[in-house]
Amino acid sequence: MKKNYLILSMLIVFCLGFYDVSYSHTLWLNATNYFPEIYSPEYGAKTTIYFGWGHGYPVADFLSLDKLSEFNLITPEGKIKPINPGIGGFLATKLSFPEKGAYIITTALKPGFYTMYVKEGKIHHKSVPKTGMSGIILSLHFEQYAKALINVDSSDSTFSKPVGHTLEIIPLVNPAGLKPGDFLPVQVLFKNKPARFCPVYGTYAGFSTGDDFAFAATADGQGKVEIRILHHGPWLIKTKVKLPAPDELKDKCNELSYTATLTFEVK
């Protein structure tokens, strides 16, 4: 009995120490081509966007279509055009771009609850509020947002404009001009204000098949941080903001959790 309790206690401590980065699935967007070219006015430039979901960049688990609350294309002029996701697999969606410019693909999950608890000596995970439960290890209300940067024969700076997500990563320069060894300055905004001293992680395709990140830093008092580009190829930047649950949600969760990702490519 004491041995089992000790093992369970150690497992709970491990989970609490580890869940900061990887306690639940993360959302991001992938592209088959982040730099599509226009070969003819008739067909324009093309790429395929597909969803990343889980713990292994660039692909992991399948994402259910009913989890999405947003999937948009933002044109270089700032127009927002809803996208119909593809069906099956990684929700692969073919897109075409009739004109040159910097395009942003955005998506978001429907907000929800996540609770980890102990019952009959085992740790359980459920996408529900903690209401009526006992043995709570952690319980939170989450929101997740993701953006992908697509350059169509372009290197302009329109990516530096916020898209309006509750939490988002703003690239302060277009990564199209970066090379390995350079730095990408970004600013994290939370509710349109700098997310002061939030953690920021970065990795590139091929670095790891798990939750390991090639880069980690803390944003400054203006929510800014410079990401060192360690390798060419597709990149994923991730940030999180956690807050105590407000009074009106304390019977449902202990924390509010916000996650944002940004994907792009470095040639």
Residues 3-43 pLDDT 10s: 443 333 444 334 444 444 335 789 999 999 999 998 877 77
Query: In this predicted structure, what is the pLDDT of residue 157?
Result: 77
Low-confidence stretches of the chain (pLDDT < 70) are: 1-23
Burial of 257 from C-beta contacts in 10 A (0-12 / 13-18 / 19+) = buried
Of 48, 57, 50, 49, the C-alpha closest to 25 is 57
In one-letter notation, the amino acid at residue 205 is A
Verify cis geometry, omega within 30 degrees of 0, for the bond prior to 58: yes
Query: In this predicted structure, what is the pLDDT of residue 23?
Result: 52
Of 62, 133, 54, 120, the C-alpha closest to 92 is 62
Of 199, 25, 209, the C-alpha closest to 114 is 25
What sign for the dihedral angle of Cα 32, 261, 189, 231? Answer: negative
Query: In this predicted structure, what is the pLDDT of residue 158?
Result: 82
Please give the model's pTM, rounded to 2 decimal places: 0.89
Query: In this predicted structure, what is the pLDDT of residue 11?
Result: 41
Q: What three-state secondary structure class fits 117?
A: strand
